[in-house]
Structure 1
């Protein structure tokens, strides 16, 4: 198996109809992919049996993990990674996708081709949100009438350009992800936030500071991501993971993160936290 997807499955009781509609659009779009194996971590609302019944309606090979409890992003993703490493060890690439995404057919091809041709640990693709914003590309677009997200629409947003940045969906080189540890839940014990920064630092140190590695986005593929940060509707103390990040990588990790990120806010935030620690 060349690529396996990982997906955290969480439905919110107060937005059930909305979440189910997004989930259906996401899974239907994945049916068009050449890579149709998805390791799903059940984070809540359905029991595992109910979730398996639900997923059986789709032309996908799905493996359900978890216990129907929101264990958090780090624990859920890491469980998916471990399953792949242990049970599908020949897998070359692992994706991280969300339920509120819609994919064009074979959206992964350009990303896999890029990873195969370049010494990179991971690559993200471009995103467009429900308002037509394309934050990393620095532009916006008019959304289709009726809100129908088609392959033609997503293909029209592609451009042959690699830019600096990180977002989901992304695709990892499985071997490097395993070498760097993925999401270390010994440190990342909160539900969410800052787990991506921990992973990026792992890659940065894997290549060595001299190489000045930084995450990249390949705009040859564009995916619809309805609401970036949708999971933030589930409350959590963001300081849990931040404190874990500091324990894991120390003040110098924060300093390096201030250089890894492209956004001015991230640069300011991590540099300020670094300065606060060193006094």
Structure 2
């Protein structure tokens, strides 16, 4: 099995069902159709199984019990399920329900990983405002969902830039060696678990090599709500504290250099400087 997708499934409002239908229907056109779905709530496992089986031509493995365990635990459980039950998996993706995928969207990303010594690669995205992060470009969104295949294919460009976003695809073996997401530290529900994972890769390769995450715009996915960490509050603070406990103040300095966006660079550099002054 070359690639297995992971998806956290939670329906909270009517809009979420609209997201789920468009996301999963678009995934039917993917090169790889096996998905480990973590049930985060609202539906029982039996109801979720029936919903997925009746509506989509996908190979779905359902785990979880309908409890919202948070992003960190949910993603990690998906990874561990794959490592145990589908051990020949070479690559693992992280998907969100508010995404729409073009046909065979993973192929350029898998090809990139096959030909470059990288632990992961992010897909290019366009959000609900038409913004294309990391390229500083904007696009006019189609009015109809049926137009998104041609729209997303038309946004592809042969450009690989510094940055990180979801969806991303990991090399399963390296993800396993670095541990994935450590829930012992990352106890908040969202926000900084990706940074913990990036630092794991950074130290895996060694600081001398100068590794940094990359976004490959040879494939473009629609992501309705991107950059949530910029406005996230609440329990994200617990997640941040865990990040600092895991990697220390120097980890914040490294993150200010790993990220490609000015917002992230400034955020982590400021947190690093605050840590020095304590």
* TM-score, normalised via structure 1 length: 0.95
Alignment partners' CA distance in 2, 1:256 and 1:235: 23
- Following TM superposition, by how much is the alpha carbon of 1:159 offset from its aligned partner in structure 2, in angstroms? 0.3
Partner of 1:203: 201
Partner of 2:84: 86
Describe the shift of the 1:198–1:149 C-alpha distance in structure 2 as closer, same or farther (beyond 3 A): farther
Deviations 1:110-141 (A, max 9, x none): 00000000000000011111221112221111
Alignment partners' CA distance in 2, 1:148 and 1:130: 16
Partner of 2:19: 22
Unaligned runs of 5+ in 2: none
Describe the shift of the 1:248–1:234 C-alpha distance in structure 2 as closer, same or farther (beyond 3 A): closer
Structure 1 consecutive aligned stretches of length 4 or more whose deviation exceeds 2 Å: 145-150, 229-236
Partner of 1:5: 5
SS of the aligned residue for 1:145 comes to coil
Describe the shift of the 1:47–1:233 C-alpha distance in structure 2 as closer, same or farther (beyond 3 A): farther
Alignment partners' CA distance in 2, 1:229 and 1:75: 20
Mapped contact 2:191–2:228 kept (Cα < 8 A): no
SS of the aligned residue for 1:77 comes to helix
The one of 37, 42, 45 equivalent to 1:45 is: 42
Describe the shift of the 1:20–1:235 C-alpha distance in structure 2 as closer, same or farther (beyond 3 A): farther
Mapped contact 2:249–2:272 kept (Cα < 8 A): yes
Describe the shift of the 1:119–1:234 C-alpha distance in structure 2 as closer, same or farther (beyond 3 A): closer
Deviations 1:175-217 (A, max 9, x none): 0000001000110111101000000000000110001110001
* Residue 114, structure 1, aligned to residue 115, structure 2: no
Matches within 5 A, 1:29-178: 29-57=26-54, 58-178=56-176
Mapped contact 1:149–1:224 kept (Cα < 8 A): no
Q: How many residues align?
A: 276
- Following TM superposition, by how much is the alpha carbon of 1:235 offset from its aligned partner in structure 2, in angstroms? 6.7
Mapped contact 1:192–1:236 kept (Cα < 8 A): no
Partner of 1:193: 191
- Following TM superposition, by how much is the alpha carbon of 1:80 offset from its aligned partner in structure 2, in angstroms? 0.1
Partner of 2:246: 248
Alignment partners' CA distance in 2, 1:176 and 1:95: 13
Alignment partners' CA distance in 2, 1:258 and 1:229: 16
Partner of 1:181: 179
* TM-score, normalised via structure 2 length: 0.95
Mapped contact 1:38–1:61 kept (Cα < 8 A): yes
Cα-Cα RMSD:
1.6
